Amino acid sequence: MGRVRGPFLRRRRRLWISSSVRRHPRPRSSGPRALLPVAFRDIPAMLSSPEWGIRHAGLMAIAAVAEGTYQVLELEVGKVVELVVPMFADLHPRVRFAACQCIGQLCTDMQEIFQQKYTKEILSCLIPAMDAPEARVHCHAAKAIINFCCGVEADELAPYLDDIVNRLLRLLSSSPRRYVQEQALTTLAMVADASADKFQVYYPSIMPLLMQALRSPVTPETQVLHCKAMECAGLIGIAVGPETFQHDATELIKVLLQIQEQPTTDDDNTPMYLQQTWSKICQALGDAFVPYLQYVMPPLFKSASIKPDINVVDDNDEVETRDGFDVLDLDDGQHVEIRTSVLEEKSAAFDALLAHASTLGAKFGDYIRPTLELALPNLKFYFSDNVREVSAMLIPTLVMSGNTTGVITPEELNAIFLQVTRAIQPEGDAGFLGSLCKCLADSLLAVGSQAIVAPLANEISVACKAQLAALASRREMRARRIKRGPEWEEDKEDMLLLQELEDVAFEEMGRLLGFLDPNHPLLIAIGSIKEMGI
């Protein structure tokens, strides 16, 4: 795993601005606008080289440039397509592999824009590439289809479904290599998710194959394949809807319960895949899933409650990143080593909790309170952005359900609102500040104006006032830095991203304060600070 700088493990691109964080110098960059002309001066010659290694390097260079300069590359994407598409006919398999990698990277970095403009060009390359005789090439083409599906509408994908699904089924049934079968299942799942109800026609062909795979004995060699089959079955269930899925759901649930009862090892991902699959089946079946919560929730709560495996490494020691761990640098000179599998398990469990709670609403019943007891303290689980973000989304969902059913008393609701409010004032992450304000505003809206008592309103105002002062100070500091000269250009993109996150926080804070009082005096301050920019 990679080394992570800063006090928190980030799963999204975020900027943490705090005096307690050690600043690490970065090399000066001439900027993407300066890089592109140089890159596209040399890359065409590389792609026409008689040496396959140079052609391969040219394609990988395009993928690397796309990742770092996508905003500028949007203007030149047509030229990129003209360069890459012919490389799918290259005689050397490693060059064709790199072409798949390049297209996949472009689909990710220019999501939606690239897919919408060049659907035909992309799929006319990737679909035939799944017929390539080399396993690595057709597997990577199937993998790139996933990147494509992340930014495409169902109607745009529909004309190509027959060709895509038929090739994936052929890879699944005829490939002697397990990694190809695993990739085919993963891609089928994402294609089903992207195509929604248009996937119905393929359901009768695919679900029996998945059931057959899940019923087969689990061995260390087939463990991943079983997990992929679970994932695929759940996503297909959501895609085709309850009317189609319910005919197989009972048998699928029976098989999954049998798998859940089997012993597992520490490095077995089956429990995490099971939890994710249960949440997908819940989304597919809705209220019909309620009887199965008694089997699903205990292990899910256990995973969501897991404590991170942390080792503090002395600053005098040479810090090396062990496999399966990330290293975080703290401001006091210490290094914290944290096991990534624990974070992944906890994060996936919170995702599943949100899926169950939002799908079932009031029917979540007895599980509303224990889920709230997990979500509230994990607003401060600084090792995972996702756990914090999902906690902030869970709380208003659970507040609405708990208030509707009477599971949560008015006194408990007030305590919940106070706890969220007290998380707002010290929050230094502009992005998550917006999430906290949204969490509190949505929770209050779910209960109504009767939830606003004077002490709570006062605490909210105090917390928001403190945050506004801090945000104004940061914007003034950045403005002074800009006035020093052109050096700020190297941080321009980061500053603009931070401004965007702060603007979202201003909007959510304004919505929160407006709920307290449409004429709240801090609303004027929000407008003034927002106009400062940067």
- HSE value, Cβ hemisphere, 13 Å, CA-based, for 170: 16
Rounded-to-integer distance, Cα 57 and Cα 254, Å = 50
Query: 32 lies in a domain?
Result: no
Report the pLDDT value the prediction gives residue 327, as an integer from 0 to 100.
79
Query: Considering only 285-294, 317-326, 359-368, which range has the smallest mean pLDDT?
Result: 317-326
Nearest to 464 by CA among 422, 431, 416, 509: 509
Tokens of 144: 């790139």
Determine, yes or no, domain membership for 525: yes
Q: Which residue has the tokens 């796309």?
A: 66
Residue 30 domain flag? no
Tokens at residue 83, please? Answer: 């360069």
Q: Which is more confident, 195 or 318?
A: 195
For the stretch 147-195, pLDDT in tens is 999 989 999 999 999 999 999 999 999 999 999 999 999 999 999 999 9
The answer to whether residue 307 is domain-embedded is no
- Angle 293-304/340-360 helices, nearest 10 degrees? 140
Residue 7 pLDDT more than 60? no
Q: What's the confidence (pLDDT) of residue 10?
A: 31
Instruction: Give the pLDDT confidence score for residue 29 in this predicted structure.
Output: 44
Contact 312, 338 (CB under 8 A): no
In a domain, 486, yes or no: yes
Whether 100 is covered by a domain: the verdict is no
The one-letter amino acid code at 120 reads K
Q: Is the pLDDT confidence value at 364 over 50? A: yes
- Edge-to-edge strand list for the sheet holding 310-313: 3-4, 325-329, 335-339, 310-313
pTM for the full model? 0.87
Q: Is residue 437 part of a domain?
A: yes
Least confident of 22-31, 218-227, 464-473: 22-31
The most confident of 27-41, 111-125, 155-169, 325-339, by mean pLDDT: 155-169
Sign of CA dihedral 476, 477, 479, 483: positive
Question: Alpha-carbon distance 509 to 517, whole Å?
Answer: 12
pLDDT at 23 over 60: no
**Is residue 371 a contact partner of residue 330, using CB atoms and an 8 Å limit?**
no
Please check whether residue 458 lies inside any domain of the structure: yes
* Rounded average pLDDT over 486-493: 69
- Phi, psi (degrees; rounded to nearest 5) at 16: -110, 110
Confidence category of residue 368, pLDDT binned at 50, 70, 90:
very high
Counted domains in the chain:
1
Question: Distance between CA atoms of 97 and 63, rounded to whole angstroms?
Answer: 12
Domain range holding 528? 409-532
